[in-house]
Amino acid sequence: MGKTGWGLTLDTSEPIELLSPVKTSMYSAAVSPPSDHDDDDDHKNSHRNDVSEVDFFSTCKSNEDQIVVKKEINNSHGNELDVNTGLHLLTTNSDQSSVDDGGSSSSEDKQGKNKLKILQFELEKMNTENQRLRGMLSQVTNNYTALKLHVANEMQKQQNQKVEHDQEMVAKQLIELGPTSHDSSSEERTQSGSTKNGDHKAGKRNGRENTPDSDAWIANKVPKLNGSKIVEQPNESTMRKARVSVRARSEAPMITDGCQWRKYGQKMAKGNPCPRAYYRCTMAVGCPVRKQVQRCVDDQTILITTYEGTHTHPLPPAAIAMASTTSAAASMLLSGSMPSTDGLMNQNILARSILPNSSSIATISASAPFPTVTLDLTHNPNQYQRNPNSTQFIPTMAMPLQSVAADDSVARYNQSRFSGLQLSHDIESRPQQYNNGTQQHTLLADSVNAATAAITADPNFTAALAAAISSIMSNGNTATTATSHAAATNTATLSHIVNNHKTSNF
DNA sequence: CGGCTTTGACCGGCGC
DNA sequence: GCGCCGGTCAAAGCCG
């Protein structure tokens, strides 16, 4: 504990207390005994006690404390007159008795007893002062602990606020991506349109919305409706955020992953009941970056996002964060430290298949409301900074926590455990602050290790990751790929997709 | 009324 | 050459 705490608090209060005249005499007496009758047994005992008391204070190993004590000692030597004066006052009687020193043993006894009393009195005083200082020490310790907790709470608050902001944005995007891309507001709109105007289009929309797929999506979104998905409904906070995001629908263009996106189209894709939504970056006029968002066919709680193109404008920190966390996760995959999970897929094979030339990128982000896995199929982990003009093509899988953990505490646990990846985000989003290559490398390595440990420790997360990647492969191949397919099959399929993406974008 | 969402139509690539 | 599929466009409708 305490070095900093002592330094912070005692700088102002302790020295003043220690330099009080009472204490000065006390420490002086303890360190340099006023009497030269060292052979007295009682005096020895009391002296021993004195030293032990001083030793107690020396256990406060702060350098400043030591300095203060030294000062006291020096002061005691420098102010010897004060000490001697006090003792003289008390021993005046003995001096008077020593006038008739004559060598009477009774006067020596009296003198010894007086000294003994003096020393006992001093000892009591020191004990009292010792207890008082003990109390002060504990108080300072408590203050330090309370302050520490307060600082930690404040930092946590700020972090939570940032995370909540991101959560709302991504949840908003999630809500809009149902099989028919309708949310509660569009439902209202459709209903009002059909009842007010009897619009045939609205009727058509209603017809589409009554498909089983859309019902499943509604059940997944709206807790009051019956459906199998309701059993897996996430915690209340997630639902609350989802509702808020629905209300905020008119705030488009949406700001998710750091950029502004505008939806320009939506299309049903073969082999997936959920439509694929097309977004265009609106951060800058003429920015060619587009992204596609589609729900996973196997698990509709999983979002698969594909980015294409290169931004022609400076990226906001959140977008840089996404790219940088990608780097960390890529290193994680390449490190091959992930164990095989439930026999679903060998991550080493997976990493090699995703990253056949070690030039691809994976992202695992916990800043989103759900753990988000991003696979950059074309990007070199360091390419982002070195060659910003290169084309990106990044499929992303966003997994709401209800598919991984139905408990809010588990969600927070996961978020906290992935905080290591945020570190890498901080590093690369502020490269000027980390331009020391060695330091950056060390920090990145630490963050990668943290991420690896976090993911390794969560079999649910790795299983969900495997399912999401499997979904990507099923999208690239019309044949439905079950999660438990053989790794070799998945490898071939995924490599095929990788090659397709590369050839189509370079 | 401006902006956003939805959705049908159109176009190009690819496989048979 | 034809059909399928994915991507894009633009008009219509809706909302604040």
Is the C-beta of residue A501 closer than 7 Å to nucleic acid chain B?
A: no
For residue A345, the cross-strand partners are: A341
Contact partners, residue A432, CB within 8 Å, separation at least 6: none
Residue type, A280: R
Is the C-beta of residue A265 closer than 7 Å to nucleic acid chain C?
A: yes
Phi, psi of A477 (to 5 degrees): -120, 130
Q: Convert the pLDDT of each residue in A25-70 to its tens digit.
A: 333 333 333 333 433 444 444 443 433 333 333 333 334 333 333 3
Q: Convert the pLDDT of each residue in A343-378 to its tens digit.
A: 333 333 333 333 333 333 444 444 444 444 444 443
**CA–CA dist A395, A384 (Å, integer):** 16
pLDDT at A142 exceeding the cut of 70: yes
The label of the residue with tokens 């020396």 reads A58
Length of chain A: 506
**CA–CA dist A62, A10 (Å, integer):** 10
Asked whether A309 and A392 are in contact (CB, 8 A), the reply is yes
Give the mean model confidence (pLDDT) for residues A79-88. 40
Q: Convert the pLDDT of each residue in A193-202 to its tens digit.
A: 333 333 333 3
CA distances from A247 to A2, A186, A241, A252, A499 (A): 50, 11, 10, 11, 41
pLDDT band at A145 (very low <50, low <70, confident <90, very high): confident
Is the C-beta of residue A181 closer than 7 Å to nucleic acid chain B?
A: yes
Nearest nucleotide to A265, CA against C1' atoms: C8
Asked whether A329 and A364 are in contact (CB, 8 A), the reply is yes
Can you tell me which residue has its alpha carbon closest to the C1' of nucleotide C14? A189
Residue type, A51: V
CATH, domain range A243-336+347-377? 2.20.25.80
Is the C-beta of residue A200 closer than 7 Å to nucleic acid chain C?
A: no
Which of A75-89, A107-121, A143-157, A449-463 is the least confident region? A75-89
Å from A403 (CA) to B13 (C1')? 37
Residue A320 is encoded by which pair of tokens?
């840089």
Å from A288 (CA) to C1 (C1')? 34
Contact partners, residue A478, CB within 8 Å, separation at least 6: A270, A271
For residue A395, the cross-strand partners are: A306
Is the C-beta of residue A311 closer than 7 Å to nucleic acid chain C?
A: no
**CA–CA dist A275, A291 (Å, integer):** 14
CB half-sphere exposure, A330, CA atoms < 13 A? 27
The most confident of A168-177, A178-187, A273-282, A469-478, by mean pLDDT: A273-282
**CA–CA dist A352, A346 (Å, integer):** 10
Residue ranges of alpha helices (H) inside A283-435 are 317-335, 347-354, 383-386, 408-417, 419-429
**Beta carbons within 10 angstroms of residue A152's beta carbon:** 10
**CA–CA dist A282, A294 (Å, integer):** 20
| pLDDT score, position A12 | 34
Q: Convert the pLDDT of each residue in A427-476 to its tens digit.
A: 333 333 334 444 444 444 554 455 455 455 555 555 555 555 555 444 43
Domain locations along chain A? 121-151, 243-336+347-377
Helix (H) or strand (E) holding A307: strand A303-309
Is the C-beta of residue A201 closer than 7 Å to nucleic acid chain C?
A: yes
Q: What is the mean pLDDT of chain A?
A: 49
Share of chain A above pLDDT 70, in %: 22
pLDDT at A109 exceeding the cut of 50: yes
Is the C-beta of residue A290 closer than 7 Å to nucleic acid chain C?
A: yes
Residue A253, preceding peptide bond in cis (omega within 30° of 0): yes
Share of chain A above pLDDT 90, in %: 0
| pLDDT score, position A84 | 43
For residue A339, give the DSSP letter: P
Cα dihedral value A354, A355, A357, A359, nearest 10: 130
Nearest to A172 by CA among A252, A276, A291: A252
For residue A302, the cross-strand partners are: none
**CA–CA dist A234, A231 (Å, integer):** 9
Is the C-beta of residue A263 closer than 7 Å to nucleic acid chain B?
A: yes
The most confident of A150-154, A201-205, A382-386, by mean pLDDT: A150-154
For A399-505, strand residue ranges (E) read none
Residue type, A125: K
Å from A263 (CA) to C8 (C1')? 12
pLDDT band at A263 (very low <50, low <70, confident <90, very high): confident
Nearest to A228 by CA among A302, A170, A301, A303: A301
Is the C-beta of residue A479 closer than 7 Å to nucleic acid chain C?
A: no
Residue A207 is encoded by which pair of tokens?
């017809």
Q: Does A290 or A231 have the greater pLDDT score? A: A290
Nearest nucleotide to A251, CA against C1' atoms: B4
Nearest nucleotide to A250, CA against C1' atoms: B4
pLDDT at A259 exceeding the cut of 50: yes
Can you tell me which residue has its alpha carbon closest to the C1' of nucleotide C4? A270
The label of the residue with tokens 């099923």 reads A474
pLDDT band at A164 (very low <50, low <70, confident <90, very high): low
Is the C-beta of residue A254 closer than 7 Å to nucleic acid chain B?
A: yes
- Within 7 Å of a protein beta carbon, the nucleotides of strand B are 3-9
